Structure 1
Amino acid sequence: MSSNGPNPDLSQSPVQYRGWLISTKMINGQLWIRWQHPNDTFPRYGRPVVSGDLAATISHVRFLIDVAIKLEANTPRKPS
């Protein structure tokens, strides 16, 4: 899916991927994809949509989330 320009409706439709919240935001006229870890209260991570290719950017964000999940699964938990 390619986009000729930012879609203002995208910011109204956050979605979840493997427990992470993915949303969009216009920052200085540029559409950004932002994602939030399930334990965070705000989207800590983000990147601009490259060359209007929303599908490729979303695919890359999903890849980064998958990597984070694998890293967390392999990290020993501290005793509480």
Structure 2
Amino acid sequence: MSSNGFNPDLSQSPVQYRGWLISTKMINGQLWIRWQHPNDTFPRYGRPVVSGDLAATISHVRFLIDVAIKLEANTPRKPS
């Protein structure tokens, strides 16, 4: 674990939440949480961890994923 409290091994172990992948990455010395839609091949979304509060940031990311899932469920599909 580094002096800022971030374990660099976490960035090597993405976790799943409701089919989405959540991972961490250091960008310009700032810890970021990134998340990836199940249909995407890369993490399209991300945000920095605010004030070192990783738990609150993960909670917010889960909330955003839940909102995206609800929006997708309510979006009519185009016929093929």
Bin for the TM-score computed over the shorter chain: over 0.9
Asked if structure 2 preserves the Cα contact closer than 8 Å seen for 1:3 and 1:53, the reply is: no
Query: What is the aligned length?
Result: 80
- Provide the aligned C-alpha RMSD in A: 2.5
Asked if structure 1 preserves the Cα contact closer than 8 Å seen for 2:2 and 2:8, the reply is: no
TM-score (norm 2): 0.93
Asked if structure 2 preserves the Cα contact closer than 8 Å seen for 1:33 and 1:58, the reply is: yes
User: Among the aligned pairs, what percent are the same residue?
Assistant: 99
How far apart in 2 are the matches of 1:26 and 1:9? 11
The gaps in structure 2 that reach 5 residues or longer are none
Question: Which has the higher mean CA deviation after the structures are superposed, 5-14 or 40-49?
Answer: 5-14
Asked if structure 2 preserves the Cα contact closer than 8 Å seen for 1:11 and 1:23, the reply is: yes
TM-score (norm 1): 0.93
How far apart in 1 are the matches of 2:31 and 2:3? 11
Asked if structure 2 preserves the Cα contact closer than 8 Å seen for 1:2 and 1:53, the reply is: no
Q: Deviations over 1:38-69 (max 9, x none)?
A: 00000000000110010000000000000000
Higher relative contact order (CA 8 A, sep 6+): 1
Q: List structure 1 runs of 4+ shifted beyond 6 angstroms.
A: none
How far apart in 2 are the matches of 1:44 and 1:11? 16
